[in-house]
Amino acid sequence: MAYSDKVIDHYERPRNVGAFDKNDQGVGTGLVGAPACGDVMKLQIKVSPEGIIEDAKFKTFGCGSAIASSSLVTEWVKGKSLDEAASIKNTEIAQHLALPPVKIHCSVLAEDAIKAAVADYRKKREGQV
């Protein structure tokens, strides 16, 4: 099947591949998907004391659309507040990457990954208070 140019671009030059120390108090980690389903995304955000996402990293096991979706959202969340990041919708991701219907679940997973990373970070902060 044919991938869009944007998917190919993100697949071939993925942005922000890598990992932060998941025990760092300023880092939120979201791990979503399942190996048995053929998709696992790990998205990490590094958050400033002011609550702004300064940096993001990802690692993804999955098809080209899954890799592209996670690569794209690492770009989108940077500079955003936690609430702004958590409000990114899968439809925006799918639209931007021109994902076909069978690949919509990749964008859903990317949205879930952001929400999971934000939730993880918030949980850590609550634990500190």
Kindly list the residues in this chain that would bind another protein in the complex (CB under 8 A): 1, 3, 8, 11, 14, 17, 19, 31-42, 58-64, 66-67, 102, 105, 108-109
CB of 100 to another protein, least distance (A): 9
CB of 13 to another protein, least distance (A): 11
67 burial class (0-12, 13-18, 19+ CB within 10 angstroms)? buried
CB of 119 to another protein, least distance (A): 13
Nearer to another protein (CB atom), residue 98 or residue 102: 102
Asked about 63 being catalytic, the answer comes back as no
**Pair of tokens at residue 103:** 């690949």
Nearer to another protein (CB atom), residue 62 or residue 81: 62
72 burial class (0-12, 13-18, 19+ CB within 10 angstroms)? buried
With a CB cutoff of 8 Å and minimum separation 6, the contacts of 89 are: 111
Sheet holding 39-47, edge to edge: 27-34, 39-47, 53-61
Catalytic residue chosen out of the listed positions 19, 34, 37, 102: 37
CB of 26 to another protein, least distance (A): 20
Nearer to another protein (CB atom), residue 34 or residue 98: 34
Catalytic residue chosen out of the listed positions 67, 68, 106, 116: 106
With a CB cutoff of 8 Å and minimum separation 6, the contacts of 123 are: none
Q: Which residues are catalytic?
A: 37, 106
